[in-house]
């Protein structure tokens, strides 16, 4: 494999809609999908004379998130106005945080599939490899701000001469956002995806956001450029101009857009040789259908938003006791849970990774299986092979899964005790999925599963050996595997016959007869 | 019976004792407005029918004993920057022509629940930017004492209507002197309360960190009672002080012997101070001395930077506060299709913004938006806005220090009496200097009271100003009342 001729450098800005009952500076609801302009009041409409009042819950959620992201929580934070004109911003400014964000200087540890080999070759200090296959992505800051409204461009009445209508829905205006800004520590599209996946998981564990990209409760902008090693030995790296990529509506599009953008920038550099600072910063939009980025804005200087402290709001003072209280109230975070599953239940790190990464509800389901008597190993196997597969096939969430964990635990215990084998266990599982009202014992019974008495088994095996002298001969000649054909026959005669028992018993009988 | 040449306290007393009804008084003032306002121009909107109906309801409520408020039934005029849902709220700007608010300002709700009857909305300098009411987008207001002169501003309508006996009391707003300066020009009293004392919810913002709503009246007692009605904590305003309103009117009559009043030499000796105003101020100091008040010199070393500081901070905040008037959501939207920007694809939107704001705002508002936009810009912010915030802190510290020594500071309200209409319109800097003695209180957030203390030889009213520490409106009103009692002050009204 050829080493790539450049390294992709990525920083991500993630806007997270916080799960508060009401907006950041008024009491309007934040529910998604309400009819346009029905969740509005004088404050979020920016009517003359209205004033903002801070929703303390948003500050709490921001602190939870900041602490989970290993950030420093500001003892003193304030609100600033970011001034710009746009119809979906009714006040003509957005209330945000400029120089004193509520959270700063954190990090998020991500798993690496395989670290890019030439990282060290170009003296890369970004991020910290905290453990093999792990990397810390540093965070610059996370600040609170209010969301803007939505512009809905109606093309239906548009003709080539007449411009289309734009309608404004201000339901979203004022919804609390936490903007989480990373350092440019990611070195591939895969790392960016891994960061986003871990961040989303963390936010879901914290229960601070719905993280629904389709509904816009998690939005990602990527800052991308490439570093190209110089020709001469010890020559400095050449960095291409940074491009901000917007309109990324899924993690998949983040990945594709970064790959595309890196290749585009490298190609462009080969043509024009322009490095960072030699051409204006661009904002480009991702076109998911065509798989390309297109130019949206190009600026010589950054926009002047004329930030200044919002005189309508008072600064927020956060006492260290308050920070400590929130820190203590944090739930177990994904990384800690993975480690605990491995150490406490002795399951494989891979299994822990899969189960924990499915979200808190699935991890809790798994733990309940164990607490209800299932062995960790069997629980882990059934989670991955049966529960997760069923969820995926039926496209449902664990909350709607028809088998409660205590019930599944009963089945796993029954298998453990040898009351039925795994194959029959799966049949029972299917029964339970299809018919949620049925209990485990009833399902076992309905399938005619009973533990076959030893005597009955012996009788069955004797019958089989008499009917199959060729198999007996083969076994006697040293081919023990030949017994396999009898197992199938035994299963046909009595579906409850445990294959292992059949095998063991037949061998025993043959050995006894040959003595 | 003369119902209009009375103070609010006198009117309330007569209504309470059933000598007169609120409806009768309301009609009397409405008649006076009809008879005189073509000459004065104090009102932008008069809600005659609504006011009469409201007065009748208040009369019924009083009769049933449902309202027990000291100003129940008294008519009042309010500055047209306070949101009401019946008459328009325009801030005297074309950009809000015919705009009707969807909600009521907190102070309007408080007035109504205390049984006051709102006569109408008074004229002002557009968005309260100015000191003469000449910047109104709609009309001139004339000074009732001399119709060739301005009533001051920006609460010119609220001051003139009292002087013209069109209303017994009014609400104004004060960002740099906009209650006190017109009160002085029109010969009435005006109080700018402590920042945060009165809720700003429903006040169309000019400069949020300086704006404060306050009462205007003939008598100190009226001011105290009106402030009791409108003041107090409001959870809808984050800058509202979380304290309930103390009773201000009950302690007014106490003797003031032993009170310490500070005077600032630089103010009295200021070259720009009119000699008649200086003379009256010195006489007033003697009135206090004769009451047993101790007069002490105090220093406000940073006061000289007040105007410069104010004209950085106020336009900065205003440039942002006025961004919402864009034509996109409410108010005036230009129908002009002239394109000033032919480069961008979105030119129709930018044209709409440019044309709406270009046509909707008057020249002084545009000047301040430009000033503020400039001082908040990257590269200038630190040198202007941030520096101004630092100087503001020094100015506040000067007052803090002074109020450790004295109860009140006494000085002039304005450098000159009312000036002529048109006199300063072409010289914005001269116009800005009329705030010389008043902006300090706004920058420091302290309460300040303007009271009349005589007339010039030409018959123009003169005022003086008392300032006190934050939340000490009681001291101001006490000192103001003592002054008026000792000179046996009686309100006078000019013949119009």
Tokens (6 digits) for B359? 């046509």
> How many angstroms away from the CA of B204 is the closest CA of chain A?
4
* DSSP E strands, A259-383: 281-287, 292-299, 308-309, 316-317
- pLDDT at site A1: 41
Tokens (6 digits) for A213? 């990209």
Which residues lie closer than 8 Å to A145 by C-beta, 6 or more apart? Answer: A24, A82, A94, A95, A96, A97, A176, A177, A179
Q: What is the C-alpha separation between B59 and B57, in angstroms, rounded?
A: 5
- pLDDT at site A375: 86
Rounded to the nearest 5 degrees, what angle is found at the Cα of B193, between the Cα atoms of B117 and B434?
A: 100
* DSSP E strands, A240-383: 243-248, 281-287, 292-299, 308-309, 316-317
A381 at interface of B, judged by CB pairs closer than 8 A? no
Which residues lie closer than 8 Å to A324 by C-beta, 6 or more apart? Answer: none
Find the CB nearest A313 among B238, B320, B376: B238
For the residues of B83-132, what is the DSSP string, one character each? --SSS---TT-GGGTT---SS--HHHHHHHHTT-EEEEEE--SGGG--SS
The residues of B annotated as belonging to the active site are 79, 154, 178
Q: Give me the residue label for tokens 């009351």.
A: A419
Which residues lie closer than 8 Å to A212 by C-beta, 6 or more apart? Answer: A32, A218
Element (H, E) at B403: helix B387-405
Residue A424 shares a structural domain with residue A284 = no
Q: Where does residue B312 rank: exposed (0-12), middle (13-18), buried (19+ CB within 10 A)? A: buried
Which chain B residues contact residue A47 at CB under 8 A?
101-103, 330
**Average pLDDT over every residue of A451-473:** 80
Number of structural domains in chain A:
3
Which chain B residues contact residue A85 at CB under 8 A?
323, 326, 353
Q: What is the dihedral of CA B449, B450, B452, B454, to 10 degrees?
A: 110
CB contact under 8 A, B209 and A90: no
CB contact under 8 A, A312 and B205: yes
State the residue range of the domain holding B85: 8-258+482-486
Which chain A residues contact residue B320 at CB under 8 A?
81, 83, 92-93, 306, 308
Q: Residues for chain B: how many in total?
A: 496
Q: What is the C-alpha separation between A163 and B445, in angstroms, rounded?
A: 50
B83 within 8 A of B111, measured Cβ to Cβ: no
> Is A342 among the domain residues?
yes
Q: What is the C-alpha separation between A310 and A78, in angstroms, rounded?
A: 8
> Is A366 among the domain residues?
yes
- pLDDT at site A116: 42
- Calculate the alpha carbon distances from A26 to A3, A23, A44, B62 in Å: 54, 5, 7, 36
> How many angstroms away from the CA of A84 is the closest CA of chain B?
8
> Is B235 among the domain residues?
yes
Residue A169 shares a structural domain with residue A57 = yes
A167 at interface of B, judged by CB pairs closer than 8 A? no
Closest by CA position to B101, among listed B82, B115, B120: B82
CB contact under 8 A, B89 and A92: no
> How many angstroms away from the CA of B169 is the closest CA of chain A?
23
A92 at interface of B, judged by CB pairs closer than 8 A? yes
A42 at interface of B, judged by CB pairs closer than 8 A? yes
Q: What is the C-alpha separation between A192 and A196, in angstroms, rounded?
A: 6
Residue A459 shares a structural domain with residue A424 = no
Positions of chain B with pLDDT under 70 = 1, 337-347
Residue A291 shares a structural domain with residue A248 = yes
CB contact under 8 A, B323 and A308: no
Q: φ, ψ for residue A338 (rounded to 5)?
A: -60, -50
A432 within 8 A of A406, measured Cβ to Cβ: no
Strand, helix or coil at A149?
coil
Residue A290 shares a structural domain with residue A196 = yes
Element (H, E) at A93: strand A93-96
- pLDDT tens string A281-324: 899 999 999 999 999 887 755 678 999 999 999 999 999 999 99
Which residues lie closer than 8 Å to B371 by C-beta, 6 or more apart? Answer: B311, B315, B316, B319
Share of chain A above pLDDT 70, in %: 91
Is the pLDDT reported for residue A461 higher than 90? no
A91 at interface of B, judged by CB pairs closer than 8 A? yes
State the residue range of the domain holding A458: 454-514
Q: What is the C-alpha separation between B208 and B199, in angstroms, rounded?
A: 11
> Is B414 among the domain residues?
no
Residue A440 shares a structural domain with residue A470 = no
Domain final position from A392, A413, A446: A446
Residue A197 shares a structural domain with residue A307 = yes
Q: What is the C-alpha separation between B160 and B164, in angstroms, rounded?
A: 6
Q: What is the distance of C-alpha A291 from the center of its chain?
A: 23
How would residue A489 be classed by pLDDT, with cut points 50, 70 and 90? confident
Find the CB nearest B204 among A48, A168, A314: A48
> Is A327 among the domain residues?
no
Is the pLDDT reported for residue A2 higher than 60? no
> Is A1 among the domain residues?
no
Strand, helix or coil at A478?
coil
Q: What is the CATH number of the domain that holds B155?
A: 3.90.1300.10
- pLDDT at site A412: 85
Domain final position from A387, A417, A446: A446
Is the pLDDT reported for residue A487 higher than 90? no
Closest by CA position to B183, among listed B158, B211, B148: B158
Q: What is the C-alpha separation between A379 and A408, in angstroms, rounded?
A: 9
Find the CB nearest A83 among B96, B323, B330: B323
B35-49 burial: b if 16+ Cβ within 10 Å, else e: ebbeebbbbbbbbee
CB contact under 8 A, A308 and B353: no
> How many angstroms away from the CA of B238 is the closest CA of chain A?
6
Residue A370 shares a structural domain with residue A223 = no
> Is B471 among the domain residues?
no
Q: What is the C-alpha separation between A293 and A189, in angstroms, rounded?
A: 15
Tokens (6 digits) for A113? 């599939």
For the residues of A197-242, what is the DSSP string, one character each? HHHHHHHHHHT-----TTTTSEEEEEEEEEEE--SSTTPPPEEPPP
Number of structural domains in chain B:
1
How would residue A114 be classed by pLDDT, with cut points 50, 70 and 90? low
Q: What is the C-alpha separation between A247 and A224, in angstroms, rounded?
A: 14
Longest dimension (CA), chain B: 74
CB contact under 8 A, B381 and A306: yes
CB contact under 8 A, A48 and B89: yes
Find the CB nearest A49 among B202, B319, B326: B202
> Is A2 among the domain residues?
no
Which chain A residues contact residue B203 at CB under 8 A?
49
> How many angstroms away from the CA of B130 is the closest CA of chain A?
19
Residue A317 shares a structural domain with residue A364 = no
- Preceding peptide of B154 cis, ω within 30°: yes
Domain final position from A322, A348, A378: A322
Residue A407 shares a structural domain with residue A474 = no
- pLDDT tens string A25-37: 999 999 988 999 9
How would residue A115 be classed by pLDDT, with cut points 50, 70 and 90? very low
Residue A416 shares a structural domain with residue A506 = no
The region that residue A465 occupies, defined by phi over 0 for left and psi between -120 and 50 for alpha, beta otherwise, is: alpha
> Is A182 among the domain residues?
yes
Residue A73 shares a structural domain with residue A176 = yes
A311 at interface of B, judged by CB pairs closer than 8 A? yes
- pLDDT at site B337: 67
A149 at interface of B, judged by CB pairs closer than 8 A? no
Q: What is the C-alpha separation between A307 and A356, in angstroms, rounded?
A: 42
Q: What is the C-alpha separation between A444 and A420, in angstroms, rounded?
A: 9
Q: Which residue of A has its CA nearest to B207?
A: A311
Which chain B residues contact residue A51 at CB under 8 A?
200-201, 236-239
> Is B89 among the domain residues?
yes
Tokens (6 digits) for A384? 């991955």
End-to-end CA distance of chain B: 19
Which chain A residues contact residue B239 at CB under 8 A?
51, 311-314
Q: What is the ipTM of this complex?
A: 0.95
> How many angstroms away from the CA of B253 is the closest CA of chain A?
37
- pLDDT tens string A364-420: 999 999 898 888 888 898 899 888 998 888 888 898 898 889 888 888 888 888 778
Q: What is the C-alpha separation between A216 and A14, in angstroms, rounded?
A: 11
Q: Which residue of B has its CA nearest to A85?
A: B323
Find the CB nearest A163 among B96, B101, B348: B348
Q: What is the CATH number of the domain that holds A470?
A: 1.10.10.410
Q: What is the C-alpha separation between B278 and A481, in angstroms, rounded?
A: 121
Which chain B residues contact residue A81 at CB under 8 A?
320
Closest by CA position to B126, among listed B83, B92, B157, B160: B92
> Is B191 among the domain residues?
yes
Q: What is the C-alpha separation between A309 and A314, in angstroms, rounded?
A: 9
């Amino acid at each position: 494999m050829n080493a790539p001729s450049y390294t992709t450098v990525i920083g991500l800005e993630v806007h997270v809609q916080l799960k508060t009952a009401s907006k950041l500076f008024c009491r309007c609801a934040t529910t998604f999908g309400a009819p346009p302009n029905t969740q509005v009041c004088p404050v979020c409409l920016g009517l003359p004379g209205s004033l903002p009042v801070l929703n303390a819950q948003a500050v709490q959620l921001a602190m939870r998130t900041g602490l989970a992201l290993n950030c420093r929580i500001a003892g003193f934070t304030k609100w600033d106005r970011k001034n710009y004109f746009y119809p979906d911003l009714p006040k003509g400014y957005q209330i945000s945080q400029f120089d004193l964000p509520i959270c700063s200087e954190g990090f998020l540890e991500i798993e690496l599939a395989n670290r890019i080999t030439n990282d060290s070759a170009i003296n890369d200090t970004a991020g910290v490899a905290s453990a093999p296959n792990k990397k810390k992505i540093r965070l610059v800051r996370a600040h609170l701000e209010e969301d803007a409204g939505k512009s809905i461009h109606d093309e239906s009445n548009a003709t080539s001469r007449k411009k289309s209508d734009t309608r404004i829905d201000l339901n979203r205006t004022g919804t609390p956002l936490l903007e989480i800004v990373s350092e440019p520590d990611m070195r591939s599209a895969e790392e960016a995806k891994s960061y986003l996946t871990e961040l989303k998981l963390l936010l879901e564990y914290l229960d601070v956001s719905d993280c629904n990209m389709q509904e816009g409760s998690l939005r990602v902008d990527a800052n991308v450029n490439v570093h190209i090693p110089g020709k001469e030995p010890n020559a400095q790296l050449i960095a291409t101009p940074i491009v901000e990529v917007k309109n990324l509506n899924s993690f998949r599009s983040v990945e594709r857009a970064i790959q595309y953008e890196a290749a585009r920038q490298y190609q462009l550099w080969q043509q024009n040789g322009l490095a960072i600072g030699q051409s204006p910063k661009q904002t480009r939009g991702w076109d998911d259908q065509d798989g390309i980025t297109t130019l949206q804005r190009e600026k010589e200087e950054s926009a002047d938003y004329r930030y200044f402290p919002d005189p309508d709001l008072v600064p927020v003072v956060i006492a260290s006791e308050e920070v400590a209280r929130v820190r203590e109230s944090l739930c177990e975070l994904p990384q800690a849970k993975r480690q605990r599953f491995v150490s406490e239940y002795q399951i494989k790190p891979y299994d822990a990774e899969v189960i924990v990464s499915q979200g808190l509800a699935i991890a809790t389901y798994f733990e309940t299986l164990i607490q209800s008597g299932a062995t960790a190993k069997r629980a882990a196997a059934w989670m991955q092979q049966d529960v997760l597969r069923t969820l995926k096939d039926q496209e449902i969430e664990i909350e709607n899964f028809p088998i409660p964990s205590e019930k599944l635990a009963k089945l796993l215990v029954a298998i453990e005790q040898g009351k039925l084998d795994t194959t029959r266990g799966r049949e029972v599982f299917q029964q339970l999925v299809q018919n949620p009202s049925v209990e485990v014992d009833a399902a076992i019974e309905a399938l005619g599963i009973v533990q076959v008495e030893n005597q009955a088994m012996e009788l069955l095996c004797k019958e089989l050996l008499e009917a199959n002298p060729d198999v007996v001969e083969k076994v006697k000649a040293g081919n023990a595997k030949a017994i396999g054909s009898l197992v199938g026959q035994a299963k046909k005669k009595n579906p409850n016959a445990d294959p292992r028992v059949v095998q063991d018993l037949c061998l025993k009988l043959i050995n006894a007869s040959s003595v | 019976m003369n119902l209009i040449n009375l103070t609010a306290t006198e009117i309330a007393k007569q209504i309470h004792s059933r000598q007169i009804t609120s409806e009768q008084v309301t009609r009397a003032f409405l008649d006076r407005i009809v008879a005189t306002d073509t000459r004065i121009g104090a009102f932008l909107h008069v809600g005659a029918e609504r006011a009469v109906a409201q007065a009748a309801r208040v009369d019924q409520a009083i009769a049933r004993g449902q309202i027990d408020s000291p100003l129940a039934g008294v008519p009042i005029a309010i500055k047209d920057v306070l949101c009401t849902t019946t008459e328009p709220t325009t801030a005297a700007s074309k950009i809000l022509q015919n705009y009707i608010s969807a909600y009521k300002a907190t102070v309007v709700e408080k007035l109504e629940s205390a049984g006051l009857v709102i006569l109408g909305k008074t004229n002002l300098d557009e968005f309260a930017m100015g000191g003469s009411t000449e910047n109104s987008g709609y009309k001139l207001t004339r000074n009732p004492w001399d119709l060739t002169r301005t009533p001051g501003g920006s609460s010119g309508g609220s001051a003139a209507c009292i002087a013209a006996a069109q209303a017994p009391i009014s609400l104004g707003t004060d960002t740099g002197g906009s209650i006190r300066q017109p009160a002085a020009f029109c010969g009435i009293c005006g109080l700018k309360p402590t920042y945060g004392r009165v809720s700003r919810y429903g006040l169309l913002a000019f400069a949020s960190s300086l704006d404060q709503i306050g009462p205007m009246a003939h008598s100190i007692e009226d001011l105290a009672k009106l402030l009791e009605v409108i003041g107090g904590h409001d959870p809808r305003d984050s800058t509202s002080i979380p304290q309930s309103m103390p009773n201000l009117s009950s302690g007014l009559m106490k003797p003031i012997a032993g009170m310490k009043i500070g005077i600032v030499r630089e103010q009295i000796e200021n070259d720009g101070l009119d000699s008649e105003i200086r003379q009256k101020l010195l006489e007033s100091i003697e009135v206090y001395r004769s009451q047993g008040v101790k007069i002490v010199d105090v220093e406000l070393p940073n006061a000289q930077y007040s105007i410069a500081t104010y004209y950085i901070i106020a336009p900065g905040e205003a440039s942002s506060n006025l961004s919402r008037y864009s034509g996109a959501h409410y108010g005036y939207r230009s129908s002009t299709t002239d394109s000033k920007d032919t480069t961008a694809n979105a030119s129709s939107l930018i044209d709409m913004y440019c044309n709406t704001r270009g046509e909707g705002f008057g020249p002084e508002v545009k000047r301040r938006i430009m000033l503020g936009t400039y001082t908040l810009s990257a590269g200038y912010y630190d040198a202007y806005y941030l520096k101004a915030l630092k100087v503001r802190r020094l100015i506040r510290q000067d007052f803090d220090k002074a109020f450790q020594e004295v109860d009140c500071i006494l000085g002039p309200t304005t450098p000159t009496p009312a000036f002529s209409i048109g006199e300063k319109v072409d010289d914005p800097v001269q116009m800005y200097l009329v705030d010389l003695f008043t902006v300090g209180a706004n920058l420091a957030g302290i309460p300040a009271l303007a009271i009349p203390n005589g007339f010039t030889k030409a018959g123009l009213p003169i005022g003086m100003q008392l300032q006190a520490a934050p939340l000490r409106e009681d001291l101001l009103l006490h000192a103001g009342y003592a002054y008026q009692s000792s000179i046996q002050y009686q309100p006078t009204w000019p013949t119009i």
